[in-house]
Structure 1
Amino acid sequence: MNAARIEVLAPGAYASVQDRGRRGFRRIGVPWAGVLDPRLMRIANALVGNPETHAVIECFDGGLVLLAHGGPIRVAVAGDAVVELEVAGERRPLPPWRSTMLADGDQLRIRKLLAGGRIAVVAIEGLALPETLGSVSTYARAVLGGVDGRALAAGMQLPVVSHGEGVDRVLRHVPLTDPSPIRVVLGPQADHFSAAALHTLISADYRISTEADRMGIRLEGPALEHAGTREIVSDATVPGSIQVPGNGQPIVLLADAQTAGGYPKIATVISADLPRLAACRPGQILRFARVAAFEAEESARRAEAETRALIDAIRPLLPDGIDLDTLYSVNLVGGVVHALSPEHRPQWWPVD
């Protein structure tokens, strides 16, 4: 076992340490925080051999640069990202969705995120940070978790207990981008809106505004008309709640959002689709579709089954990147027969 560390040379647009979140404290006003896309966290951790909910680095839109000290340190990037590995000053591309070993002095660089989304996750084997209220997740507004309760910044050091053993792994089937509408369940204050507003929500186009972060996403589009008062006595919210303030422009709450609020909530984004919404870029157009609660539950079960299948299909890589399981599963040479099989002997073959 090897004591090592990762230094943040550049945090990019925004990077933070996150895990599954800080559960069980919303009743006292502590948000979950945690990764915006749990599937990425689970895949990245599986690639490096961590428990699936181990703390990871979540980043947006590229620019993150990490430096290994005292390696070897195994890392993996999950997400539709352009990744580079710098060794002895020489940069070379590194595919995402696989693990690799960083030696002392190597750099991992996420140059940019592609059209598939704006979130990537970096798993580090043996990342060792203390928990606060049962979680390592960074909630910067309350200075909780992560490194000093803050988003990552240049010069921060992340301690690692790295084994430096075993082989690297690859995800055999990359998740595909789903372009379908974002599904919602109406309520809990749908009765605070006119019938026209409910129809508009599921029929109109909405644009992701520039006011989009880990707390929530403000949408731009047709105003949603309140049927009565534009505010309510503050009550509970959850990630996925769609609040509608007085201007009628909806706000979708995400992991770092407050635990209660005074704007009526017209609907809630289902858990299976919330990561897709969180990954949308400013300027992107989306639509909503209404589903029943039982359909949302079925979608959650399907999403979990798909994630489990992806993780179960992760396979070892040879040091040069060859996936042996894939190689052996394909008939590389066809039409080969045994020369001594009577049914395949040519006419000129001598009789026994």
Structure 2
Amino acid sequence: MPNRKLRVGVIFGGKSGEHEVSLQSAKSIMDALDPLHYTTIPIGISKDGRWHVGKGAWKALEAKQPAAFPAKSAASSPASSKRFINPEIQGLSPVDVKRSADSLPPALLNEIDVVFPVLHGTFGEDGTIQGLLEMVGVPYVGAGVLASAVGMDKIAMKQIFSAAGIPQARWVGFTRAVFAHDEARIVREIEDQLGYPCFVKPANLGSSVGISKARNQRDLVAAIHLALSYDRRVIVEEAIDAREVEIGILGNDHPIASVAGEIVPKREFYDYEAKYQEGGAELRIPADLSPEERQAVESYAIRAFQAIDGSGLARVDFFVERGTGRVLVNEINTMPGFTRFSMYPKLWEASGLAYDKLLDRLIELALERHAERSQLLRSYDKT
């Protein structure tokens, strides 16, 4: 860490169905960043894609915003000539503030030492904001473009896990166009390969948004249409009679695993409300696992992290099948929730790393990764 205070840009909100979750995570992080070491610069992105900078950012995003997925997308509306609003940034000179306010996002980001992109879901956890940060050349917390994109896309993720020999539940994936062209064949394939009940999910979304449990063909078709309202690709997975276990990963090239935790939902499955409402689920930390199960969970979690070329942090979710103890990887989350109810920080707290120290370590990892990547050649010189 440099001697002066680091200017940390915390980006939150976004054009995602997880917009509200992002606000909760960002508030927890900004409250916990030590003001003796950091100057926090709030950067809020509204649901229609407007960037709000500084002290007014939080208030702006708390105001009523358009729906996360309006009938007419923000991309189809006329482009705004004022993409930055409320540029009240502490820690920057008046000249810096003026320059940032009058220009596109990269100019603002050039004035920041490290970015903490607390954006869950599409346009945040999927490699898009990571690509912008790479182009600007600013260090940022978390996974890079590849790992973010693969970690977000459940179909691509499962294909890579399969190639890496990581055990998973059976699944079927398809696009909106394929389903529209041959609905009967897709339904028959799901029934033959997976059976009922099964879970239907948008391929590129998190926080259990758009997920349904289908018990029959009527449920299945309705669930697919719901999932397609959130994404053009859908994944259907077999239902496993299993305990839900999660583990935190921290690091870059030499990641370490936290203790494991178990989620016991008080609803039928671990849906959006169970995740983000207090009392929606019981978190048991550490999870009651046999030595063999614990070793398998830790090993597969690190393998999954490395398979997608993860960095910084991730939470890996597992099924531990009842009766057999079979361990299956469900998914990896490259920017897991950071609310006060969230599993990832609780896992590290139980592992001996307090919330504020966890944030310190994540920022250190971001700076380390950026320093390493800065050594790469960016041009070819024949001489």
Same fold per superposition (TM over 0.5) = no
Q: Which has the larger share of strand?
A: 1
Q: Which has the larger share of helix?
A: 2
Q: What is the TM-score with the length of structure 2 in the denominator?
A: 0.28
